[in-house]
Structure 1
């Protein structure tokens, strides 16, 4: 294992009625004024969730202002609106009610509310990240793992640019996680979430490191669990136990519990994020579209981990040749995504292929070799192959000729 330092300062309140405890937890930290941030969805009202959070805060003596309107691929314009509102009311914390987009937006508002720099300057690296307001999360849609990660992703809709900011101070202070709250999430966003957390684990698992150790086996166990419970959960959306498994996996998939001590990859996200930025495609769908094609290109360079992944996650026969196992594991991955009703190609989601060069222009290749990735270093031509491969695949997984 490589050297690492990790601090996860999030307090997890997990289980039945977790959302009712938010007032007492924040009051114990001396919080008096908060900004409640959400997407404004009707479920917040008819489920009683928003009223429950408001009442919990009010009973604890905490004043609240609200800002709704978060969209998938959270918008920079709303973040700026939230910063102005937070500063106007001198709030001391953010309360995010929702999934990854709401949480990421809240993190950005909390960061921008503490400084004098424009919030986009932090994302571009023009300003250092030093301070932020504490963020409390009431999780409704497990997917991104943003409830305890140090990452926020914001979409600059004017520039069609989607940037990631990763800093330890961005980890939320609290995560209130009641799996029952996610039972109202429909099948498609549930499936998008499962793909997202699956990909988060893979980005850490597919490393250039050749040794296999405890972190690898933990990752394989989490991936195999998702393969098992994912389709079952879609068939029984209100099953609390299945939702609980998915909710906790979403958290450990992204807070680096399964990523310490290795050089991580992140090529799939870097490539797929450009689809979201240009075409406003749901994040989980971009990942399922890109991952199989990325695996095919990357496994040509370094088949070992892909072969082991096939055996440990999908029970592919370990006696088969390495390249064969790798291929079968990739095919099983795409079949798993399709079992969730997720796309595996541009055509599955009606995405045009005329923006490939523009998307390639926005990928930040780095180092003297101008590449991305870990398990396989990919240059612009490699990424072009991945885009074209994903664009040419049919819904049956075959490439068009």
Structure 2
């Protein structure tokens, strides 16, 4: 049954063709006077005139703007600190992210640090609790993380080799402009990484030690089944607006907790996979496709009925109640097959990642609780995580 929960998703979604053309009027209505535009210096910003278009719309409504580019995948703390200094110096009243999850997370961190006297990294280590933030606006160009409406930001401290997150309602973006047309030029690999991220976000919530929650489970299964259906199709037809629109919206609902409320969540795949990003700068979606199958193989016998149901409802595996373990394992094979069908790696070897730094990655995992472990459906200690890494070799 549903456990107690408290959720407020206060993001204003402006979704559809040319949604970004409303940015000047919408921000004016919000009382915004000066924004820091944050981006990754991507060619798409300049080749199609998107950046100039945004600046022009803001200017026409009397809104000043300045820029900070240079965001990298697995966004760096060093650039966040630069943005905080700039935001404070220029007294901006909004950070506007143009891009995907890395840019949005970096913008959230800047907004958090811009109204604080403490170092922003303290929020990621848990030394400080977020109390307020500059509002964040988003023009989404790469659907994947759902950061455009989530209360989470992930930042990479390169010098320490740590990739940590902060979670707080104060960093949910205030407004998100979502035009699927802006995503049609995404390279196939980035599109596939995004789909895997969405798939994983739902799975982290679906694979739970809790009992069935009818409506939430069916919503989650519907999202996963849709991704299995249209994920490969969008790679074949990258300019198909209908596919791009569904992918874009799924990214948001997969990670704003719509399908995670009222239950224990897992997040082991993300925690373990993040260490590949922190050490090797591996793209986030690729770390998830590499780790997820190995994690599933390691934990599925803890709750085989849940994995058998997943196999049946998402991939159409026959499950008659007597072949539970077999059906559950077939679902794992189908998951890996699905990732491969989109050109995603499912092992260290597939992506050329070294296998001799496992201990270093294990040293960085934030094991917690009385049992010094991570996870929900099965609590995983250091030795468990080592075996999952080795399974993924």
TM-score, normalised relative to structure 2: 0.98
CA offset digits 1:210-268 (Å, max 9, x no partner):
22410010000000000000000000111110000000000000000010010000000
- Distance in 2 (alpha carbons) for counterparts of 1:253 and 1:81: 31
CA offset digits 1:336-368 (Å, max 9, x no partner):
000010000001111001111111111111222
Deviation at 1:379, TM superposition (A): 1.5
SS at match of 1:250: helix
- Distance in 2 (alpha carbons) for counterparts of 1:26 and 1:372: 41
SS at match of 1:184: coil
CA offset digits 1:298-345 (Å, max 9, x no partner):
102221211100000000002261100110000000000000100000
- Distance in 2 (alpha carbons) for counterparts of 1:64 and 1:372: 42
CA offset digits 1:172-215 (Å, max 9, x no partner):
00010000000011100000000001000000000101224100
Are the aligned partners of 1:19 and 1:52 in contact in 2 as well (CA < 8 Å)? no
Instruction: Report the equivalent of 1:374.
Output: 376
Range that drifts further, 313-322 or 333-342? 313-322
SS at match of 1:72: coil
Does 1:258 pair with 2:265? no
- Distance in 1 (alpha carbons) for counterparts of 2:285 and 2:149: 19
- Distance in 1 (alpha carbons) for counterparts of 2:337 and 2:60: 49
Instruction: Report the equivalent of 1:18.
Output: 19
Instruction: Report the equivalent of 1:327.
Output: 329
Question: What pairs up with 1:31-46 in 2 under 5 angstroms?
Answer: 31-46=32-47
Does 1:194 pair with 2:206? no
Deviation at 1:275, TM superposition (A): 0.5
Instruction: Report the equivalent of 1:47.
Output: 48
CA offset digits 1:373-397 (Å, max 9, x no partner):
1111112111111000101xxxxxx
Instruction: Report the equivalent of 2:153.
Output: 152
Instruction: Report the equivalent of 2:238.
Output: 237
Equivalenced residue count is 391
Instruction: Report the equivalent of 2:180.
Output: 179
Structure 2: runs of 5 or more not aligned: none
Instruction: Report the equivalent of 2:124.
Output: 123
Instruction: Report the equivalent of 2:387.
Output: 385
- Distance in 2 (alpha carbons) for counterparts of 1:148 and 1:212: 24
- Distance in 1 (alpha carbons) for counterparts of 2:212 and 2:288: 27
- Distance in 2 (alpha carbons) for counterparts of 1:155 and 1:174: 25
Structure 1: runs of 5 or more not aligned: 392-401
